[in-house]
Structure 1
Amino acid sequence: MPALPRFPSRTAPLVLLLTACLAWTAQAQPRAITPRGPLDAAEQNNISVFKRVSPSVVHITTLDMQRDFFSLNVEQVPRGTGTGFIWDEQGHIVTNFHVIQGGDAARVTLADQSSYSARLVGAFPDRDLAVLRIEAPRDKLQPIPVGSSRELQVGQGVYAIGNPFGLDQTLTRGIVSALNREIESVNRRAIRGVIQTDAAINPGNSGGPLLDSAGRLIGVNTQIYSPSGASAGIGFAIPVDEVNRVVPRLIKDGRFIRPALGVSAGTAQLHQALQLPRGVAIVGMGPRSPAAESGLQAFHRGRDGRIVQGDVITALNDEPIKDLDDMLALLEKRQVGERVTLTLWNKGKTRKQAVVLGASSD
């Protein structure tokens, strides 16, 4: 049998290259897609909550007014960003007070990226809450579903939607880590009953909603605990029951008018020096205040310079009071003109006194 002819030696490299290319092409084809089953229940709920609630979440940009040095034209310059949510069909937007604090103006960007100038309706720094209003078409305003924080339990699943670091419409998931925490507001008042969560909350999430697994508002994300400034898995939210109590009054009156007794409180040092019980030592009263008209007695100095014993408020409607923050928190739950019963301590004796609440001047 005759021998097969050989390729000339100069063509061998070309043949080898062609063979290699064909083999590489065969191996570089796209991989076949592996079919998957349906999404699990948790994934489906994540998607459902985001689709239903994200249209209610807004991006807030606070603005400073600055005058150009040469032209003297006034322009608005971005100061900071945060999150808020649509409260009702009238265009009221709820957010944290610290999100808009110090700004000259604000713009609200909806989920569809339409943007509107906002005006401040009212604010309550003691609870770090503020209400803005925008003039937007009704069909663009989807109020957030409101739940209850009274029934929350540690371990419940929660969601946070916000704009961390300016990134719009971000969803994070976690649980209720703890209840009844206490944090400090921007004006150093204690905010009690706060929800702690491990859902990732970062700068820019402030003012955004914390949701339960049904997609209902259960809190307003307000602070994080973080040595680095980024999420460390410890976030705090103002409970929705508090929000639902404060916001309608901000919309109605433009500010939170706290019922008041018209008293000035003594310091912790006074309590310690005079060995007084826990409560609020009255060291001053307005001349026509509810406290004065009800016959309450204030601590004062007598003619000989000695301190004359006054009343210490130890309870309101039988709810114990340990300090001024406690008393103010209880008063906030009442209405101007409402009659309450105070428990008073004076020289070791206790009595009860009915008082009709007036309005605070702050």
Structure 2
Amino acid sequence: MLDLTAAIPDDGLSSRATKDTPNNDQALLDAYSNAVIGVTERVGPAVVRVETGPKVRNTRERGGLGSGIVISPDGLVLTNSHVVGSSKEIRLRDIEGVVTDARVLGTDPDTDLALLRADGARDLRYASLGNSKTLRRGQLVVAIGNPLGFESTVTAGVVSALGRSIRSVSGRTIEDVIQTDAALNPGNSGGPLVSSSAEVIGINTAIINGAQGICFAVASNTAQFVLSEIIRHGYVRRAYIGVAGQTAPIPRRHAVVAGVANKMGALLAQIEPDGPAAQAGLLPGDVVIKLDGVEINGVDDLVRSLDRDRIDRTLDIDVLRLGRLRSVEIHPIERKPSARQS
């Protein structure tokens, strides 16, 4: 019998690859596991279960469950606005089962975030907010929460995409949202999305029903902004002009005649009497195409541009009225907070 192996030179590479590959794979798996374990051990104790509604469950008022993350030793807790809702009774349950009453410092439905304070709590385990701008697609992330009532559940995945936009319960779009494939379920809402360095880089907020592996978290930089606004004012300050509208296409002939590049604009459907828009002379049917030098290609652009920096300033607003370009001055005011926020 012909021995073919004798004709094949043995340089040692094949045998080493065969022997080393399992070891290398094991080392990678161990490194991955250790990263997840390390994050869980450092951040897990700072994750709380958020319970809303009355303690006695035989009342008509229904309670809810969610998650939250303690971000300071004196008991500041970030969670979702939709977890808190309008409930007047809120309790926090930590990893050791200790229950503490909490109160709402402020909510921001526009970003689906709420800030709570644990009553009488001091020296709590807490986690730090990281810089979400440093995230990269494919980066390892860990979600910790209480999905479906199961305490302290950990899932891991990667950052699937950055800079997403989703619709909040208030109808406004939440910008700079993180998409992840770390498994989330009802009850994870308000819990942290954590980087491998154990920094909170997002607050889990939404799941696409019927889709597998498509979940979203509000970026930590957005959470930091909302946190600072609530601490300073009790709510998030935004500008207001008193209109209701919708995104609408701009007929090409109108765009050509007016000399504008917009293909879409914000069509004003209603004007609040005595509001800034009414005082500026805007009318239903006007199509906003620019505000304060910023191009407006729809209602979302208009709402996004009405931030705190434009409160109590006189701005130029460009609109198309019956196909003709008009520019007027408008003076946005501060939007009144909701009853919960006040």
Interval of TM-score (by shorter of Structure 1 and Structure 2): 0.7 to 0.9
In structure 1, runs of 5+ residues without a counterpart are 1-35, 69-74, 300-309
Contact 2:247–2:265 at 8 Å: present in 1 too?
A: no
- Distance of aligned partners of 1:257 and 1:335 in 2 relative to their CA distance in 1, 3 Å threshold: same
Structure 1 partner of 2:221: 241
Contact 2:248–2:265 at 8 Å: present in 1 too?
A: no
Q: Is 1:342 equivalent to 2:328 in the alignment?
A: no
SS at match of 1:146: coil
Contact 2:69–2:127 at 8 Å: present in 1 too?
A: yes
Contact 1:315–1:343 at 8 Å: present in 2 too?
A: yes
Contact 1:65–1:77 at 8 Å: present in 2 too?
A: no
Q: Is 1:59 equivalent to 2:49 in the alignment?
A: yes
Instruction: Quote how far apart the aligned CAs of 1:349 are.
Output: 5.0
How far apart in 2 are the matches of 1:356 and 1:188? 23
Q: Is 1:312 equivalent to 2:287 in the alignment?
A: yes
Structure 2 partner of 1:281: 267
Instruction: Quote how far apart the aligned CAs of 1:237 are.
Output: 0.8
How far apart in 1 are the matches of 2:276 and 2:246? 21
Instruction: Quote how far apart the aligned CAs of 1:219 are.
Output: 1.1
Structure 1 partner of 2:78: 94
How far apart in 1 are the matches of 2:134 and 2:314? 29
Instruction: Quote how far apart the aligned CAs of 1:236 are.
Output: 0.9
How far apart in 2 are the matches of 1:267 and 1:37? 55
Structure 2 partner of 1:33: none
* Deviates most, 91-100 or 335-344: 335-344
* Total equivalences in the alignment: 304
Question: Which deviations, in whole Å up to 9, do the C-alpha atoms of 1:128-164 show, x marking residues without a partner?
Answer: 2122221233212x34211122232211111111112
SS at match of 1:154: coil
Letter in 2 for 1:217: V
Structure 2 partner of 1:17: none
SS at match of 1:98: helix
SS at match of 1:150: helix
Q: Is 1:149 equivalent to 2:136 in the alignment?
A: no
Instruction: Quote how far apart the aligned CAs of 1:284 are.
Output: 4.9
Letter in 2 for 1:117: D
- Structure 1 vs Structure 2: percent identity of aligned residues? 35
Q: Is 1:178 equivalent to 2:167 in the alignment?
A: no
Contact 1:296–1:311 at 8 Å: present in 2 too?
A: no
Letter in 2 for 1:336: I
- State which of 115, 129, 145 in structure 1 corresponds to 2:113: 129
Contact 1:271–1:281 at 8 Å: present in 2 too?
A: no
Contact 1:282–1:298 at 8 Å: present in 2 too?
A: yes
- Distance of aligned partners of 1:171 and 1:338 in 2 relative to their CA distance in 1, 3 Å threshold: farther
Contact 1:61–1:78 at 8 Å: present in 2 too?
A: no
How far apart in 1 are the matches of 2:310 and 2:119? 31
Instruction: Quote how far apart the aligned CAs of 1:113 are.
Output: 2.5
Structure 1 partner of 2:208: 225
Instruction: Quote how far apart the aligned CAs of 1:266 are.
Output: 3.7
> Which one scores higher on RCO, CA 8 angstroms, separation ≥ 6?
2
How far apart in 2 are the matches of 1:137 and 1:335? 38
- Distance of aligned partners of 1:317 and 1:151 in 2 relative to their CA distance in 1, 3 Å threshold: farther
- Distance of aligned partners of 1:78 and 1:60 in 2 relative to their CA distance in 1, 3 Å threshold: farther
Instruction: Quote how far apart the aligned CAs of 1:338 are.
Output: 4.5
Letter in 1 for 2:99: S
- State which of 283, 307, 313 in structure 2 corresponds to 1:298: 283
In structure 2, runs of 5+ residues without a counterpart are 1-25, 256-262
Q: CA RMSD in A?
A: 3.3
* Deviates most, 112-121 or 251-260: 251-260
Structure 2 partner of 1:32: none
Q: Is 1:49 equivalent to 2:39 in the alignment?
A: yes
SS at match of 1:136: coil
Question: Which deviations, in whole Å up to 9, do the C-alpha atoms of 1:338-361 show, x marking residues without a partner?
Answer: 455434444555565554431123
How far apart in 2 are the matches of 1:221 and 1:164? 11
Structure 2 partner of 1:265: 244
How far apart in 2 are the matches of 1:81 and 1:124? 19
* Deviates most, 315-324 or 339-348: 339-348
SS at match of 2:82: helix
Instruction: Quote how far apart the aligned CAs of 1:104 are.
Output: 4.1
**TM-score normalised by the chain length of structure 1:** 0.72
How far apart in 2 are the matches of 1:292 and 1:78? 42
Structure 1 partner of 2:178: 195
Letter in 1 for 2:152: Q
Question: Which deviations, in whole Å up to 9, do the C-alpha atoms of 1:4-28 show, x marking residues without a partner?
Answer: xxxxxxxxxxxxxxxxxxxxxxxxx
- Distance of aligned partners of 1:42 and 1:266 in 2 relative to their CA distance in 1, 3 Å threshold: closer
Structure 2 partner of 1:16: none
* Deviates most, 210-219 or 331-340: 331-340
Letter in 1 for 2:294: E
Contact 2:268–2:288 at 8 Å: present in 1 too?
A: yes
SS at match of 1:111: coil
Instruction: Quote how far apart the aligned CAs of 1:177 are.
Output: 0.8
Q: Is 1:360 equivalent to 2:335 in the alignment?
A: yes
